[in-house]
Amino acid sequence: MPIATRRISANGFDFAVDEAGEGDRLALCLHGFPESRFSWRFQLPLLAEMGYRAWAPDLRGYGETEPKPKDVASYRIERLMEDVAALIDASGAREVTLIGHDWGAGLAWTFAANRVRPLKRLVIMNVPHPGVFAEHLRRSFRQMARSWYMLFFQIPGLPEWLNTRDGAKLIRRAFHDMAVDKSRFPDAVLDRYAADAQRPGAMTGMVNWYRAAAQSPGKLAGPWPMIETPTLVIWGEEDAALGLELLDGTDAYVRDLTIRRLPKVSHWVQQEAPEAVNAILAEWLSAAR
């Protein structure tokens, strides 16, 4: 199935959205940091073949989506959930499957828990439920050490400068160095992410997701209602930033939970192991119909 890029006006933003497929069953794919809609290039054709209209937007502050607000408050989780709701409304879909990775998964968890819009299915990749994550941060020095960058991102200006200097060298390294199978991140892929990060205002917008979460957690702080939406969690076991133990306790927040772990796969699960991820998606979504 071919992938086309279109513009969607929603919630005051002009979203760049990669689209495959058609119809009124929407699969909305939310990327993470420091990614973009490009991170779903392997999943959109599969979802289209399964009968979904698959959308992967550049989220607020990222890529070709405009404008890119400079203020931290614009990136509070409540504002980000408004974007997801507006995209769903703009699609006109009768049924929505929400899929998220990294920060996009954190947003998807929060959206589903708060029941902002009805969801048919929820798919999460390599990010724990925010309630589980908060519990582990409170009692695990190891996870606190792994999450050092979240504290670093609170410094004004410095993260933007370091991440974009030398052709966004640190952005390139984030993918290449963390990956187990580095062949999945050739120069052409790294060039795409580096270029997106260097767009005017992008790096500030990207980092502001972390600043807003720390400064004004809002709905990210709970309380956490039980998620009734059937939920699939796919997790690359070699995640350098998020320990495998962060899966423990997820069932306290999700009524209908399926977990699939992929050994020898890093945090960048859907890009590094697209064949395995797509096989899991196809099996679970087909059984869920």
Tens-digit pLDDT string for the chain (289 aa): 799 999 999 999 999 999 999 999 999 999 999 999 999 999 999 999 999 999 999 999 999 999 999 999 999 999 999 999 999 999 999 999 999 999 999 999 999 999 999 999 999 999 999 999 998 888 776 777 777 788 899 999 999 999 999 999 999 999 999 999 999 999 999 999 999 999 999 999 999 999 999 999 999 998 999 999 999 999 999 999 999 999 999 999 999 999 999 999 999 999 999 999 999 999 999 986 5
Active-site option among 31, 101, 129, 267: 267
Residues ≥6 apart with Cβ < 8 Å to 68: 60, 61, 199, 200, 201, 202, 204, 205
253 part of the active site: no
Please tell me the number of Cα atoms within 13 Å of 11 on its side-chain side: 20
pLDDT at residue 138, as a whole number: 80
Give the closest residue to 201 by CA, choosing from 94, 101, 74.
74
Known active-site residue 149: no
**Residues 62, 193, 210, 253: which is the catalytic one?**
210
Contacts of 52 (CB under 8 A, 6+ apart): 21, 23, 25, 26, 27, 97
62 catalytic per annotation: no
Q: Which candidate in 102, 129, 193, 239 is catalytic?
A: 102
What domains, with CATH codes, occur in the chain? 4-288 (3.40.50.1820)
What sections of the chain are H helices per DSSP? 43-49, 77-91, 103-113, 130-139, 141-146, 148-152, 158-178, 187-197, 202-215, 269-272, 274-288
d(CA 83, CA 13) in angstroms, rounded, equals 8
CA 268 vs CA 12, 101, 182, 234: distances in Å? 30, 8, 11, 11
What would the two tokens of residue 249 be?
A: 């306790």
Contact predicate 193/232, CB 8 Å: no
